[in-house]
Structure 1
Amino acid sequence: MQRRVQRHGLNRVSAGASLAAAALLGGALAALWPDTPGEASAEVSFARDMSAHHAQAVDMSVTLFQRAADPAVKLLAQDILLTQQAQIGQMSGWLMAWGRPLAGREAPMAGMDRQAMGMASEQAEQELTSLAVNEAETRYLTLMRRHHQGGVGMAKSALNTVKRPEVRAFAQRVVTAQASEIGAIDALLVERGSQKPSPTPEPEMDGMHHE
């Protein structure tokens, strides 16, 4: 977290400490389970794929934490970047404890429909740095809402496949927390005069399967 935050001009030593603690905790919990997940296991795939998904949310949130004028948007961005970077540390801790590299032979989320998973395009990410601040705030909320929907879908899919209790508990926390944040984002969009988003179907589970 400290390296990522410093790269964006933020200096949060405490955030770096939290990330290190999350990685250590994740590794300690992972080591308690007797069977180490194999390279092709659902647990390993989930840790890598969700880490990549979280990384984009962190990048977009750092941009809006720097740029936002609306205190509510700035606070949301800060919460997301700190929480999801700490969770990346936890998942990295699992992989290290399992003796698995942080990156596999395939790129993260290979074979998935990235758009269905809520991943923003490179152009959309770049526009967050150049749009007028008010417009960038609204665009961020819209992108993050879709991103969270994808994250919830990925976590629910994992609950159908992973067996290790710490990974299942983590996936359930993602579902609960990000569903709650979608509600908060909807409220912010309404306050900003945006049309209340219509309910969006969850991503198809087939879009989350690796080829």
Structure 2
Amino acid sequence: MQRRVRRHGLIRWGGAALATAALGAGLAAAWPKTPSEPSADVTFARDMAAHHAQAVNMSVTLVKRAADPEIRLLAQDILLTQQAQIGQMQGWLMAWGRPLAGREAPMGGMNRAAMGMASAPDEASLATLPIRAAETRFLLLMRRHHQGGVMMASSALKTVRRPEVRAFAQRVVTAQRSEIQALDSLLLERAVTPEPLPTDDMDTMDHG
């Protein structure tokens, strides 16, 4: 029987992201009207890359520590997929002639907790908690992180102009909603009920 995480299409999404990342810079250069500084497209690329970076860091820890093979596989899928997407977004910025970092810190003005960003102590705890507790904490943190990613990408769909950026944001929404279902299934097996995501004023998510 296929593993649960495979049924949610994570492996297929990971492979597609790797292939797309290799073409990202070329596609970005081919489209007219290079995004200005700052613009919704540029801001989204920087903010989502920073958001993805935390997911990558948390997943690296669980790939090393997880005893549950399903959780290790899920963490590996997230690691590979989101690292490839970071490369794709950075490729856009370079093709547009924009620096990878702006004058303001990434996600400036956003409520980071509402966007699913884990606190530094929570992120550090993944390396120090007993393994089973760390696995459960990872599932909870990543669920919130993905919910925040869906909110960010959904908000960007209202403002970004580049077709490739809009298509990317829509893929993020679809894929991370699917991964949330996988996370929920794993949490259900552990009889764990996740806490609701903190609410935030959507105005703080404006990408330009």
TM range (shorter): 0.7 to 0.9
Gaps of 5+ in 1: 1-14
Are 2:204 and 1:207 equivalent residues in the alignment? yes
Question: In structure 2, what residue type is equivalent to 1:128?
Answer: L
How far apart are the structure 2 equivalents of 1:115 and 1:33?
35
**Residue 45 to residue 117, structure 1, CA distance change in 2 (3 Å):** same
Unaligned runs of 5+ in 2: 1-13
Q: CA deviation at 1:24?
A: 4.2
Equivalent residue pairs, number: 193
What amino acid does structure 1 have at the position aligned with 2:143?
Answer: R
Superposed CA offset, 1:135-182 (max 9, x none): 000000000000000000000000000111100000000000000000
Indicate the percent of aligned positions where both proteins have the same amino acid. 71
Q: Which residue number in structure 2 is paired with residue 97 of structure 1?
A: 95
What's the TM-score, normalizing by structure 2? Answer: 0.87
Q: Is the 8 A contact 1:117 1:151 kept in 2?
A: yes
The answer to whether the Cα contact below 8 Å between 2:116 and 2:197 also exists between their aligned partners in 1 is no
Residues 114-148 of structure 1, C-alpha deviations (whole Å, 9 max, x = no match): 01000000000111100000000000000000000
Whether 1:150 and 2:148 are equivalent positions in the alignment is yes
The equivalent of 1:5 in structure 2 is none
Given the superposition, is the C-alpha separation of residues 76 and 204 from structure 1 closer, same or farther in structure 2, using an over 3 Å criterion?
farther
- After TM superposition, give the deviation of residue 99 of structure 1 in Å: 0.3
**How do residues 57-206 of structure 1 correspond to structure 2 at under 5 angstroms?**
57-195=55-193, 197=194, 204-206=201-203
Q: Is 1:55 matched up with 2:53?
A: yes
Distance 1:122 1:179, change over 3 A: same
Paired with 1:81 and 1:202, the residues of 2 have a C-alpha distance of: 27
Deviation at 1:22, TM superposition (A): 5.0
In structure 2, relative to structure 1, the CA distance for the partners of 1:105 and 1:201 (3 Å cut) is closer
Give 1:26-45 correspondences, 5 Å limit. 26-45=24-43
Change in 2 beyond 3 A, CA 1:61/1:179: same
The Cα shift of 1:208 comes to 1.4
Secondary structure in structure 2 of the residue aligned to 1:130:
coil
SS at match of 2:126: helix
* In 2, Cα distance between equivalents of 1:63 and 1:119: 16
Q: 1:193: how far off?
A: 2.0
